[in-house]
Homo-oligomer: A and B are copies of this chain.
Amino acid sequence: MTGLEVDEEIMGATYRALCRHGFAALTMQDIADASEKSKAALHYHYDTKHDLLVAFLEFLLDRFSDRVASVDGANPATELLAVAETVLDPPDAADEREFRTVMLELRAQAPYDAAYQERLTEFDRVIRDRVRETVEEGRAAGFFRDDVEPAETAAFVVTVVSGAQTRRVTLDAAHCPVETARRILRQHVETLLADGEAIGE
């Protein structure tokens, strides 16, 4: 195993252990049990559980940034909605519910933990930056109206997807907060279009 493969293996084990045990109850032993490594070997790479979890957040942030960067669309409107989908419909659907819950647990730790807060704030920034760029490009191309404010659109998108994420963890199954968010976003994007343009599919 190369160093990179070791890191990947530990990150995968951390993901599985978090999905199985949740954030609050997680121990280094749980991560070792989900890994090919012993607990001692884990501690060789990461001094504390906190260090490992910060590295895990950075690992997720890297993957998320790559996904957000690689989003594409037939036009700036579909691209903007596709950026929102990186949050609303992430991959790894098998453990999706468990993992979303873990992420909300982590978000609730942010006020107590500057290292978590810093990385979680970065997730928010990655989305906003990407939306802003998409709106700027769409405006320059005459696809969006001239008076659309990229930073305002970015704030709108990140607020709506954050609301959907929290509601989908919190509410009972009778609710479909993600579908709600999709409608809200699509309707908002309609208001950004220059005359004669359409979102399309």
Contact = CB atoms under 8 A, between A and B. Distances in A.
A131 interface: no
Q: Decide if the interface of chain A is mainly helix, strand, loop or mixed.
A: helix
Interface of A: 22, 24, 97-98, 101, 104-105, 107-108, 110-112, 117-118, 120-121, 124, 152, 155-156, 158-167, 169-172, 175, 177, 180-181, 183-184, 191
A101 B111 contact: yes
Q: Which of A155, A160, A165 has the largest count of B CB atoms less than 10 A from its CB?
A: A155
Q: For the complex formed by this chain, how many copies does it contain in all? A: 2
B105 A170 contact: no
8 contacts: A104-B166, A107-B170, A111-B169, A118-B172, A121-B170, A159-B160, A162-B167, A163-B166
Contacts of A159: 160, 163-164, 167, 177, 180-181, 184
Contact of A167 (B111, B124, B156, B191): B124
A169 B112 CA distance: 10
Contacts of A175: 121, 124
Nearest to A114: B172
A144 B121 CA distance: 37
Nearest to A162: B163
Contacts of A160: 159-160, 163
